[in-house]
Amino acid sequence: MPVTKREIFGWAMYDFANSAFATTILAVIFNQYFATVVAGGERGVDIFGFRLHGASFFTFSVALSMAISAVLAPFLGAVADASASKKRFLMVFCYIAVLFTGLLYFVREGNYWRGAVFFIIANIGFAGGNVYYNAFLPEISSDQNIGRISGLGWALGYIGGGVLLGINLIMLKYPGWLGFPAQYFTIQDCFLSVALWWLIFSLPTFLFLREKGQESLPSFEKKYFREGYRRLRRTFQRIKTFRELTKFLAAYIIYNDGIETVIVMASIFGVQVLGMETGEIILFFLMIQGIAFFGSLIFGFLADEIGNKKAVMISLGIWSLIVIWAFKLGIIWDPKTEYWILGALAGMVMGGSQAASRSLQGIFTPDANSAEFFGFFAVSGKFASVFGPLIYGILIAITGSVQSGILSVLAFFIVGGILLWTVNEKKGIEEKQKPVL
């Protein structure tokens, strides 16, 4: 059956829904609240006899959740392909994440273990759901429009995340606009708003998006996990057949390391290095969200016009400039002014680099193995999200400074860019036609 606009809309709305988690929880409010209040900031917390900086404890929590996601993603992707149940798996991971995001409401100062457990499970749900969400992309697009559709998803994501972030700002600073007395809302109410937002706006996805895969097992033989293991083992054995896809994944695991680390650490950097308050941080990210909306669309069209690989290479050059400038913050104007400029640059490439990467993966991926291969894509992303925050957290623990480890991120962009340069996009599309035997 042909793909309808309603299906594309339903698919893209999941980005609109779950981006509230990416902004309010991962990037803006919860991360710096956890690092500076729950886990004590520079005072830190006592972990098995060691005093650990609050930012390090948060980055280690991120790394652990991503490591678990990385282990689960390819196996669950294979199971979803074998059982033609990507939509069902998406729903399960979505609602797990919604539940544990809501439970963050009960995390207060000093509840760092409780907060870490709830956050880790919520982040696993967020990351796991994205495996299946991304796996639908090749099914609802063609090689000619995949960049535009991928960019549409990212763009709606930035709108969704930005709108709720704006609501969170009003809740904390201007509750009277909503008809409530001053200081009526707490920061924990913002976490609860993410869960509700995600729950409500994911409904179009589950109502409109159709499962197009065919079940590879007889209906009476529901040995999906056995089949998933068999397909996963087979894919590991045959992955070398898709040489360009393999090279791309190697590049992605490295350069995405840098992107994810910047996203997770940006608000913590602003609070601890520049002394920015929560209201300023929210406004800063609202600016980023607005620019990222247009950046996602621009890079979506750019990817279709000049190729996904070239679009990603351009974005990596800009990311490298951002990191170098952040290390020398204050070299031209005052540091806070320059940080706002860096935020604008980051907004332009944040969604664009990831949308073009997702499109590149999509045009290299065999349609019959979309969830399985996007599981590998997710593994790359999740392992990237392990090592970047982990290395940054170790450097913070050693030096006691959030700014000291920023140049470590530059290495990921440079090495990843060099590896990506070796990928042949045309050959990768040709290899897509090879069956996974």
Mean pLDDT of 120-130: 92
Instruction: Quote the tokens at residue 287.
Output: 């600016």
Q: What DSSP letter does each residue of 373-422 carry, written as one string?
A: HHHHHHHHHHHHHHHHHHHHHHHHHHHS-SSTTTHHHHHHHHHHHHHHHT
More confident residue, 50 or 337: 337
- Express each pLDDT in 251-276 by its tens digit: 988 898 888 888 878 888 888 888 88
Q: What is the pLDDT of residues 274-331, one digit of tens each?
A: 888 888 998 998 898 788 878 878 887 888 888 889 999 999 999 999 999 988 888 8
Rounded percentage of the chain residues whose pLDDT exceeds 70: 84
Which helix (H) or strand (E) covers residue 272, if one does?
helix 243-274
Is residue 153 in a domain? yes
Residue 216 lies in a domain: no
In a domain, 213, yes or no: no
In this structure, of 92-101, 233-242, 423-432, the range with the lowest mean pLDDT score is 233-242
Q: Among 143-152, 161-170, 200-209, 255-264, which is the least confidently predicted range? A: 143-152
Q: Which residue has the higher pLDDT, 18 or 237?
A: 18
Which amino acid would we find at residue 53? H
Q: Total structural domains in the chain?
A: 1
Using alpha carbons, select from 406, 412, 409, 411 the residue that is nearest to residue 326: 406
Neighbouring C-beta atoms of residue 306, cutoff 10 Å: 12
Residue 404 domain-assigned?
yes
> How far is the C-alpha of 271 from the C-alpha of 110, rounded, in Å?
19
User: Does residue 437 lie in a domain region?
Assistant: no
At what angle are helices 370-399 and 54-83 packed, to 10 degrees?
170
What pLDDT was estimated at residue 434? 67
CATH no. for residue 176?
Answer: 1.20.1250.20
Of 58-62, 204-208, 394-398, 420-424, the range with the lowest mean pLDDT is 394-398
- pLDDT of res. 1: 62
Three-class secondary structure of residue 53 per DSSP? coil
Could you give the CA distance from residue 56 to residue 331 in angstroms, rounded to a whole number?
Answer: 27
Of 114, 98, 94, 116, nearest in space to 106 by CA:
114
Pick 423 or 430 by higher pLDDT: 423
pLDDT computed for residue 381 by the predictor = 59
pLDDT of residue 25: 94
Give pLDDT tens digits for 355-391. Answer: 788 788 778 877 666 666 665 665 555 565 667 777 7
Q: Using an 8 Å Cβ cutoff, are 327 and 396 in contact?
A: no
- Output the CA angle 97-362-149, nearest 5 degrees: 75
Q: Print the domain residue range for 193.
A: 5-208+222-431
Alpha carbon distance 404, 411 (integer Å): 14
Is position 334 within any domain? Answer: yes
Task: Tell me 347's DSSP state.
Answer: H
C-alpha to C-alpha distance for 343 and 270, rounded to whole angstroms: 11
Q: Say yes or no to pLDDT of 215 above 60.
A: no
For the stretch 17-52, pLDDT in tens is: 999 999 999 888 999 899 989 998 778 888 877 788
Is 217 within a domain? no
Q: For 219-247, b where at least 16 C-beta lie within 10 A, e where not — what string?
A: eeeeebeebbeebbeebeeeeeebebbbb
Asked whether residue 214 is domain-assigned, the answer is: no
